[in-house]
């Protein structure tokens, strides 16, 4: 499958719409940069064809502020497995599911004593509304364990930077939709990335794949490698 043809076919935005991609691809079911074997896919789809960084590909060289902690995070410099996703705090559909999934994995990490061996980085693509106060409120609403020291909401500085990072680098498209009554919303791709300590994607979870039990099992394999 040709990547450009794949991207062109996703130009009409919907809940599953996507764009962008980068990285290197392993051969067959083996890739020296990852621990997990190749995911189940249709025969004619490879990581190179997908619009977001997928199995065996390196995450973008991106650095973002973490407003609540006052730090910055560079994806390629994180020296432990990372679970990353892309959200906005006014979302009432997919984003709460994504954040709840990450929160459940965080709970497991604390209970099982590996909280220091994994990081959680939700990235907002709505910096106009998702300032420090909004992200702090979202953290509290989802009962994120702040004592675990492994969770940081990341925020691009402005709308242009959000597009440059989330869409152009990570391949997650989002489109603003005005609502007659109430705040604007976004149509966007729902995605969780499991990235190993070397910065390579072990799994890209979408839709029904965003199950905390499955993610915990995959994370255990990656951590124990």
How far is 213 from 86, CA to CA, in rounded Å? 20
Q: Which residues are bridge partners to 154 per DSSP?
A: 123
Among 61, 186, 73, smallest CA distance to 126 is for 186
How would you write the pLDDT of the chain (225 residues) with one tens digit per residue?
333 233 333 333 333 433 333 333 333 456 899 999 999 877 678 999 999 999 999 999 999 999 999 999 999 999 999 999 999 999 999 999 999 999 999 999 999 999 999 999 999 999 999 999 999 999 999 999 999 999 999 999 999 999 999 999 999 999 999 988 888 999 999 999 999 999 999 999 998 888 999 999 999 999 998
CATH of the domain at 209: 3.40.30.10
Give residues with Cβ within 8 angstroms of 116, minimum separation 6. 80, 149, 150
Is 61 within 8 Å of 75 (Cβ atoms)? yes
Instruction: Count the domains in the chain.
Output: 1
Is 87 within 8 Å of 124 (Cβ atoms)? yes
Number of helices (H) and strands (E) in the chain: give both, helices first. Answer: 5, 8
pTM: 0.86
Is 140 within 8 Å of 149 (Cβ atoms)? no
Q: Which domain holds residue 142?
A: 3-224
Q: Is 205 in a helix, a strand, or coil?
A: strand
CA-to-CA dists, residue 20 to 13, 58, 60, 72, 76, angstroms: 14, 14, 11, 24, 18
**Which DSSP letter does residue 10 get?**
T
Is 150 within 8 Å of 119 (Cβ atoms)? yes
User: From the CB of residue 186, how many other CB atoms can be counted at a distance below 10 Å?
Assistant: 18
């Amino acid at each position: 499958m040709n990547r450009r043809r794949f991207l062109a076919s996703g130009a009409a935005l919907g809940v599953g719409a996507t764009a962008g991609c980068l990285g290197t691809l392993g051969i067959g079911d083996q890739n020296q940069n990852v621990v997990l074997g190749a995911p189940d896919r249709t025969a004619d789809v490879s990581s190179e064809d997908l619009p977001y960084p997928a199995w065996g590909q390196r995450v973008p060289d991106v650095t973002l502020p973490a407003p609540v902690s006052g730090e910055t995070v560079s994806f390629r410099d994180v020296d432990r497995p990372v679970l990353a996703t892309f959200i906005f705090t006014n979302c009432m559909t997919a984003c709460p599911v994504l954040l709840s999934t990450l929160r459940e994995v965080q709970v497991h990490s604390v209970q099982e004593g590996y909280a220091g061996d994994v990081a959680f980085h939700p990235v907002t693509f709505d910096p106009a509304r998702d300032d420090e106060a909004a992200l702090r409120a979202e953290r509290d609403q989802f009962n994120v364990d702040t004592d675990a020291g492994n969770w940081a909401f990341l925020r691009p500085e402005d709308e242009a930077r959000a597009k440059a990072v989330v869409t152009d680098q990570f391949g997650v498209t989002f489109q603003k939709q005005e609502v007659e009554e109430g705040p604007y919303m976004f149509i966007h791709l729902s995605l969780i990335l499991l990235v190993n300590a070397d910065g390579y994607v072990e799994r890209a979870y979408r839709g029904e794949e965003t199950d905390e039990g499955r993610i915990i099992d995959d994370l255990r394999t990656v951590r124990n490698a």
